[in-house]
Amino acid sequence: MLKGKKGQPFYKDFWFWVKILIFVVFLLFLVYPFYTLVVNSFYSTKADGVTLYNFQRFFQKKYYYQALGNSLKISLIPTLLSVLIGVPMAYLQTRYNIAGKTFWHVLIILSLMCPPFLGAYSWIILFGNAGIVTKFLSNLFGFQMPSIYGQGGICAVFTLKLFPYVYLYVSGAMGSIDRSVEECAENLGSGKLRRLLTVTVPVVTPSIAAGALMVFMTALADYGTPGILAGGDFRTLPTLIYNEYLSETGGNANLASAISMIIVIIALVILFIQKAWVARKNYTMSALRPPQIIEYSGVKRFLVTLPVAIVSLVAFIPQMVVVLCSFIKTNYSNFVFEEGFTFEHYTELGRSLTSQIQNTFVYSTVAILFILILGILMSYVIVRRRGKTGGGLDMLMMAPYVIPGSVLGLCYIVAFNHLGTTADGTVIKLTGTAAIIIISMIIRKMPYTVRSGSAYLMQMDPSVEEASVNLGVSPMKTFIKVTARLMLPGVLSGAIISWVTCINELSTSIMLYTGKTMTITIAAYTNIVRNSVGTGAALASILTLTSGILLIIVFRASKGKVSFV
Amino acid sequence: MSHAVIIDHAVKTYGDFKAVNGISLQINPGEFFTLLGPSGCGKTTLLRMIAGFNTVDGGEIRFDDKVINNVPAHKRDIGMVFQNYAIFPHLNVADNVAYGLKARHVPKEEIPPRVEEALKMVQIDQLKTRKPNELSGGQQQRVALARAFVIEPSVLLMDEPLSNLDAKLRVQMRTTIKKLQRRLGITTVYVTHDQEEALAISDRIAVMNQGNIMQIGTPEEIYRKPANPFVANFIGVSNFIDCTVSSSGNTASISLPGDYTVSIPVSRDYNGEAILSARPEQLFFDEKGIPGKISMSIFLGDFIQYEVELVTGQTIELNEYTKDVGNIRNDGENVFISMNPNQVSLYEKESKEVLSC
């Protein structure tokens, strides 16, 4: 038997090998590709050896550094606006008897889960240059809508799309403030508004910060929305990465790598600022008595319900518009809908886009199987077998937040484009295969499952496992017979969220796809960009419908307790 | 077949902190042995070392002659009852109890009768098909108990099994547990911080503090002859009074406040500062003794509890049985307090070692 320190037996048990497996997976498909990207950013075809040429070029040419400023603007403004919308929404929903509370809640979650570019697309249909509302207003009143293209439009779309993060985090926190805390403030003589500003809001500040961080990161990383709403020469870092990658020859993508580095550094800086700020304000609270819900009736109830209904509906409009458009006849030559109801877009899908639909479901299903197995194991290791590597695992779980999808895509291209050459001269590579898209899905979307699974496990009494071991069942069998079985509800609800996000994935796969491995999101995106609106809408409707059904299943199964963020 | 459990200089360290500091004790086959102490004293840590959930960082733990330090937890053949029951929430009552039997590959046809018998012993055989979330705390505790002893383990461990029950149920369950243990004759190690529970249920008790054993003995020994002030204070209530001792032979003359002197039998010679430890019922009002004044009296039915402020300013507690006295004394009354020298304990002031015998 191997001896560890202090002469104790050192069991190389099952979990030892699980940890090895997890680290190998992340080393191969996250650390190594990212390392390659970092190295790549310090080389250039225009200079010899290690060089800062790419970074110098970035900060010298307006074409590039302007994109940095744009990216910051379209991330910070929606973050601020999301807080302004999300916090009051959370307050109304948790403290008043809003009519149709659950319905609005589900609408908000649904609008969060669909790919952001669909929102952009719907707003173009409504408010674009030839949009329905735009035309209606100008024909009827001669009123000229402000342009939806460019910075303003992008910010608006991001805000409507991403405020649910703030809403979900904050309503979770507001629901777990013990009633006595606020009662105490009232007892000490605080008025309602004063109490809200001096007790309630400060106590939920960490949750506001967490939601705001998610908004910022998602907006910073998103490729599709600025891709569609760019309008002329409005560039952001993710669109720049994609363009540079396409224009740089030979696949060396040095400048794109450097831009990727810059975006990751911004994300890291924001993450650390947020963590440092929240660390000073961490209040743990478990509500023994959840806050009182104020029961209004009649006009008062209508007045508190109205803002919730308006915001939820506006956030959900994109999904409805997309589904409606998928049934309206279009004139293919330009961006115009004709009158009349049709199924032609769906028959078109059946004719020419079956492989894309098949790809989406096959890839996401294969990915989710791996995510389930790895996710269960990883949650367990993080919660119960942290050891010295626990911190490292936590950090790996943060990676998808700081590495935008398009950057991970670029990492894979740089790292796996040339793995070697066979005897007959064919280049061995992972890029262009279905495997690489599936792997990227696993790496990026697994955190949803792991976080849900580990949160669930955290609340499970460890002595249940010990009881099983004590009764003579080995730790590994105990894990299968008891622990994994009991973790399943938590892991499954997380896995469905992972699944939904895999189905809606765009920013990584758009870097990695080939004609053969195109998915629904890519097809929808390219169709929309090419103004083939009807087909795009039909594809997007499939996404919306699938996501919606999956989310409702998980919402029902978990009795609304699942965490979507 | 029950076994002896021998703990030989067992050590458990967390960094620099010694949670279990070289403890040695021997638990006889079939004995009901309790580890008693305040929270953080190392009792649960030691129990989990026996169970195999904590590694043994030094010394040995043996079942009879077999060293079990390196035997994995699932091969130790131990039954354990957990503080929060640890019932498998996804299995019904019968399946919970059958779990260990299945793991031991007991023939299929033998399992139902054994489960049935175990459930009968804890009087919940009518709940066989219930799911854990349909059971009360007391019923869950019975399932946990049945599940632990149905496998006929060589040793039974219980980690504060009654702490989550209400007071009345706790008393009822501890009788059930004691009767069951007698009947099955399984060597049992029981952990609790409740001294009354320990006294009621155990054959022998080890009182622990800060990773060390303070005293091992029968409940009566521990109550009557506490080996040090810690035990005297932890088990029941004790008044500690500073005094001076001068001894010759087997008798010590003790000088107490107010020039009151008593003679106490001691085990060895000692001259110097000491601590006299007396329980409230070992003290009584007398014609002469330590002078003091009653500061409060509480009538508790079968006895009256007095707080007396001594001339030194120290407040002590004294109990008088209602049946022995005519009336309750008034607050502010001047009294003299005396004691039965054969019942009180005497400790060296510095070393806290026991002098009385």
Q: How far is CA A429 from CA A232, A408, A416, A434, A516, in A?
A: 36, 17, 6, 12, 16
For the stretch A381-395, what's the b/e string if a residue is b when 16 or more beta carbons lie within 10 angstroms of its beta carbon?
bbbbbeeeeeeebee
Q: Are strands B32-36 and B187-192 parallel, antiparallel or unpaired?
A: parallel
Position B110 scores a pLDDT of 93
Q: Rounded to the nearest 10 degrees, how much is the dihedral formed by the CA atoms of A217, A221, A224, A229?
A: 80
Binned at pLDDT 50, 70 and 90, residue B165 comes out as: confident
**Closest partner residue to A471 among B70, B84, B100, by Cβ?**
B100
Please give the average per-residue pLDDT across A104-109, as a whole number. Answer: 88
Q: How far is B153 from chain A, CA to nearest CA, in Å? A: 9
Binned at pLDDT 50, 70 and 90, residue B93 comes out as: very high
Is residue A274 helix, strand or coil? helix
Is B20's pLDDT higher than 50? yes
Lowest mean pLDDT among A9-13, B14-18, B316-320: A9-13
**Closest partner residue to A471 among B53, B56, B103, by Cβ?**
B103
Is B27's pLDDT higher than 60? yes
The residues in B 56-85 lying below 8 A from A, measured between CB atoms, are: 56-58, 70, 72-75, 77-80, 82-84
Residues of chain B in contact with residue A473, where contact means CB-CB under 8 angstroms, are 74, 99, 103
The residues in B 141-180 lying below 8 A from A, measured between CB atoms, are: 144, 147, 151
Q: Among all residues of chain B, which has the CA nearest to that of A486? A: B90
| Contact between chains at A6 and B51 (C-beta distance less than 8 A) | no
Task: Tell me how far apart the alpha carbons of residues A86 and A97 are, in angstroms, rounded to a whole number.
Answer: 18
Q: How far is A473 from chain B, CA to nearest CA, in Å? A: 6
Q: What does the radius of gyration of chain B's CA atoms come to, in whole angstroms?
A: 24
Q: Is the CB of residue B331 less than 8 Å from the CB of residue B296? A: yes
Q: Among all residues of chain B, which has the CA nearest to that of A482? A: B88
Q: Are strands B187-192 and B155-159 parallel, antiparallel or unpaired?
A: parallel
| Contact between chains at B99 and A1 (C-beta distance less than 8 A) | no
Residue count of chain B: 357
Please give the average per-residue pLDDT across B45-59, as a whole number. Answer: 93
Is A337's pLDDT higher than 70? no
Position A201 scores a pLDDT of 79
Q: Among all residues of chain A, which has the CA nearest to that of B152? A: A471
Position A511 scores a pLDDT of 87
**Closest partner residue to A467 among B55, B82, B104, by Cβ?**
B82
Task: Tell me how far apart the alpha carbons of residues B323 and A242 are, in angstroms, rounded to a whole number.
Answer: 95
Position B267 scores a pLDDT of 87
Residues of chain B in contact with residue A466, where contact means CB-CB under 8 angstroms, are 51, 53, 73, 80, 82, 86
Q: Among all residues of chain A, which has the CA nearest to that of B55? A: A8
Is residue B304 helix, strand or coil? strand
Binned at pLDDT 50, 70 and 90, residue A338 comes out as: low
Preferred mutation among B82, B83, B96, B131 to probe A, highest tally of A CBs within 10 A:
B82
Q: Among all residues of chain B, which has the CA nearest to that of A483? A: B88
| Contact between chains at B88 and A467 (C-beta distance less than 8 A) | yes
Q: Which residues of A lie inside 8 Å of B (Cβ-Cβ)?
A: 1, 6, 8-9, 11, 461, 463-464, 466-475, 478, 482, 485-486
Position A563 scores a pLDDT of 59
Q: How far is B278 from chain A, CA to nearest CA, in Å? A: 42
Q: How far is CA A559 from CA A555, B209, B220, B276, in A?
A: 6, 47, 55, 63
Average pLDDT, chain B: 92
Q: How far is A472 from chain B, CA to nearest CA, in Å? A: 4
Q: How far is A1 from chain B, CA to nearest CA, in Å? A: 10
Please give the average per-residue pLDDT across A518-547, as a whole number. Answer: 83
What is the percent of chain A with per-residue pLDDT over 70, rounded to a whole number? 90
User: Which stretch of DSSP H or E encloses residue B283?
Assistant: strand B283-286
Position A5 scores a pLDDT of 40
Q: Which positions ≥6 away from A445 have C-beta within 8 Å? A: A367, A371, A400, A498, A499, A501, A502, A505
Task: Tell me how far apart the alpha carbons of residues A17 and A23 are, in angstroms, rounded to a whole number.
Answer: 10
What is the percent of chain B with per-residue pLDDT over 90, rounded to a whole number? 70
| DSSP of A144-179 | -PPP-SSHHHHHHHHHHHHHHHHHHHHHHHHTTS-H
Is A175's pLDDT higher than 90? no
| Contact between chains at A8 and B55 (C-beta distance less than 8 A) | yes
Q: How far is B116 from chain A, CA to nearest CA, in Å? A: 18
The residues in B 294-333 lying below 8 A from A, measured between CB atoms, are: none
Is A9's pLDDT higher than 60? no
Q: Rounded to the nearest 10 degrees, how much is the dihedral formed by the CA atoms of A403, A267, A315, A506?
A: -20
Residue A68's φ and ψ, nearest 5 degrees, are -60, -50
Task: Tell me how far apart the alpha carbons of residues B144 and B141 are, in angstroms, rounded to a whole number.
Answer: 5
Task: Tell me how far apart the alpha carbons of residues B330 and B140 are, in angstroms, rounded to a whole number.
Answer: 50
Binned at pLDDT 50, 70 and 90, residue B1 comes out as: low
Which tens digits make up the pLDDT trace of A410-446?
999 888 887 777 777 777 778 788 999 999 999 998 8
Residues of chain A in contact with residue B147, where contact means CB-CB under 8 angstroms, are 467, 471
Is A1's pLDDT higher than 60? no
Residue pairs between chains A and B whose CB atoms are closer than 8 Å? 71
Residues of chain A in contact with residue B77, where contact means CB-CB under 8 angstroms, are 472
Expressed in percent and rounded to 5, the helix, strand and coil fractions of chain B are 30, 35, 35
**Closest partner residue to A485 among B70, B90, B147, by Cβ?**
B90
Position A6 scores a pLDDT of 41
Q: Is the CB of residue B334 less than 8 Å from the CB of residue B287? A: no
Average pLDDT, chain A: 83
> pLDDT higher for B305 or A298?
B305
| Contact between chains at A463 and B72 (C-beta distance less than 8 A) | no
Lowest mean pLDDT among A448-462, B50-64, B271-285: A448-462
Position A12 scores a pLDDT of 58
Question: The tokens of B17 are what?
Answer: 């902190």
Task: Tell me how far apart the alpha carbons of residues A94 and A152 are, in angstroms, rounded to a whole number.
Answer: 31
Position A333 scores a pLDDT of 44
Q: How far is B345 from chain A, CA to nearest CA, in Å? A: 42
Question: The tokens of B333 are what?
Answer: 């009354």
Position A289 scores a pLDDT of 67
Which tens digits make up the pLDDT trace of A360-373?
999 999 999 999 99
Is A481's pLDDT higher than 70? yes
**Closest partner residue to B103 among A8, A464, A473, by Cβ?**
A473
Task: Tell me how far apart the alpha carbons of residues A101 and A118 are, in angstroms, rounded to a whole number.
Answer: 25
Q: Rounded to the nearest 10 degrees, how much is the dihedral formed by the CA atoms of A493, A499, A504, A508?
A: 120
B244 touching A (Cβ < 8 Å):
no
Position A185 scores a pLDDT of 67
Q: Is the CB of residue B21 less than 8 Å from the CB of residue B42? A: yes
Please give the average per-residue pLDDT across A13-37, as a whole number. Answer: 89
Which tens digits make up the pLDDT trace of B113-127?
999 999 998 889 899
Residue A417's φ and ψ, nearest 5 degrees, are -75, -25
Please give the average per-residue pLDDT across A461-468, as a whole number. Answer: 90
Q: Among all residues of chain A, which has the CA nearest to that of B53? A: A466
Please give the average per-residue pLDDT across B209-227, as a whole number. Answer: 94
Q: Among all residues of chain B, which has the CA nearest to that of A463? A: B86
Binned at pLDDT 50, 70 and 90, residue A561 comes out as: low
Q: Is the CB of residue A312 less than 8 Å from the CB of residue A104? A: yes
Which tens digits make up the pLDDT trace of B180-195?
999 999 999 999 999 9
Q: Among all residues of chain A, which has the CA nearest to that of B155? A: A470
Position A10 scores a pLDDT of 44
**Closest partner residue to B74 among A9, A474, A486, by Cβ?**
A474
Q: Among all residues of chain B, which has the CA nearest to that of A467? A: B86
**Closest partner residue to A9 among B70, B80, B89, by Cβ?**
B70
Please give the average per-residue pLDDT across B267-279, as a whole number. Answer: 90
Which tens digits make up the pLDDT trace of A146-163?
777 888 889 999 999 999
